[in-house]
Structure 1
Amino acid sequence: MDKQKINTVVFDLGGVLVDWNPEYLYRSIFPSEEERRWFLSTVCTQDWNLQQDAGRSLQEGTAVLLQKFPDHETAIRAFYGRWTEMLSGPIQGTLEILRHLKSNTDKKLYALTNWSAETFPVALEMYDFLHWFDGRVVSGEEKMRKPDKAIYQVLINRYNITPNSSVYIDDMLYNVVAARELGFHGIHFQSPQQLKAELIALDVL
């Protein structure tokens, strides 16, 4: 790939720009790490949460678990009732990269995120930097989610993106792999320092 031709940077949000982790909330509900890990791997699982990210309503998702695990009603309802307690703010190093790209380059900036359509507006109110993008695609609004290639295609078509002149950044490797298969230069985010080094190597920063 001709490094000089990269003109677009696409960011995932949770785990890349926003520090979101259910553990932050559930530490206050389950002081025991063993009990907390059991709950998050058996009841409010990642796969269950992704169903809401794919468009299922929070009410329906909660009802499904209440039927299966009635003894855990308080903890289940807390997942979305106290959802903001899972957010500890921006990942500062990545935010500085985004700020630099926005202020000092002519790169187009987009967000492609797996996020519930009902909770994303809350994040938009909390974090100004979510408004810095030239456009965004939110899975819950589209009723499809990564790594389904169809949602990447929505991004490509809506904003006239050329994948082979674009960088895609995500903390989930399987989402990066899907982007690479569509022609994006994929970066598997592990830390702001690693991301910065890879973007410098590509002459993006």
Structure 2
Amino acid sequence: MKNIIFDIGNVLLDFQPEKYLQQYFSPSVMGDLMMIIFSSDEWIELDMGTMMIQDAIQSLTLKHPHYHDEIIFVMENWTHMMTPLQKNVEIVKELKDKGYHLYLLSNFHKEAIQTMFQRYDFFNLFEGGIISANEKLVKPDKKIYQLLLHRYHLETSESLFIDDMLANINMAKECHIHGLYLPYQSDLRTELQKRDIL
């Protein structure tokens, strides 16, 4: 194995919107906002790169005027919930020191990923990566995996992809990339040790 490919949300950065919203809203409002924002077509379009954050805010507040201020608050501040999963970040550093080539493959909004790259310097350890909004492709579309392999000249037999969503891992395997399914809060170190990578 030479190339380790990481998803970002819940693999490198904690992404638990319910936990975040609970700090600011009652349970019923939190539940509504989870549906209105994180299950919306607009959220998918942000990942696809076909909509920018201000457009999404305008669209969502028009559809849900009774939550106008709450939607704006969440959409302008949600990136603060994304904090490093420190144990996994340490593993990224170890893998880099061991000589592995590191890449990203993530569904992420264009403006939000720029914020993350500026906020957290461990992203400098990665040689490259594919971010959905920059390519107008989202996992688990086969094309996004093929684009990663092609752009960085990666051999599938030498590449391991780590993701917290089983559908994304299944598609990686369909593309003959080794997959490591990592449900939220699983022990990445143990999984990599099983594969003789650490």
TM-score normalised to the size of structure 1? 0.89
Pairing 1:82–2:91 present:
no
SS of the residue corresponding to residue 199 of structure 1 reads: helix
Structure 2 counterpart of 1:34, from 16, 28, 52? 28
Structure 2 counterpart of 1:164, from 157, 170, 186? 157
Rounded Cα–Cα distance in structure 1 between residues aligned with 2:74 and 2:19: 11
Rounded Cα–Cα distance in structure 2 between residues aligned with 1:71 and 1:183: 48
Structure 1 counterpart of 2:44, from 46, 50, 75? 50
SS of the residue corresponding to residue 137 of structure 2 reads: coil
Q: What is the number of residues matched between the two proteins?
A: 196
Letter in structure 2 aligned against 1:23: E
Letter in structure 2 aligned against 1:40: M
CA positional deviation for 1:24: 4.3
Cα-to-partner distance string for 1:76-107 (whole Å, 9 max, x where unaligned): 112321123322x210111111111011x121
CA positional deviation for 1:199: 1.3
Rounded Cα–Cα distance in structure 2 between residues aligned with 1:23 and 1:85: 13
CA positional deviation for 1:35: 2.8
Instruction: Return 5+ residue gaps in structure 1 as ranges.
Output: 1-5
The match for 2:63 is: 68
Rounded Cα–Cα distance in structure 1 between residues aligned with 2:185 and 2:81: 20
Cα-to-partner distance string for 1:4-48 (whole Å, 9 max, x where unaligned): xx1110000111011123234422331x2233123202x112353
TM-score normalised to the size of structure 2? 0.91
Contact kept, 8 Å, 1:102 with 1:109, in 2: the verdict is: yes
Rounded Cα–Cα distance in structure 2 between residues aligned with 1:85 and 1:107: 30
SS of the residue corresponding to residue 197 of structure 1 reads: helix
Give the RMSD, CA atoms, in angstroms: 1.7
The match for 2:107 is: 114
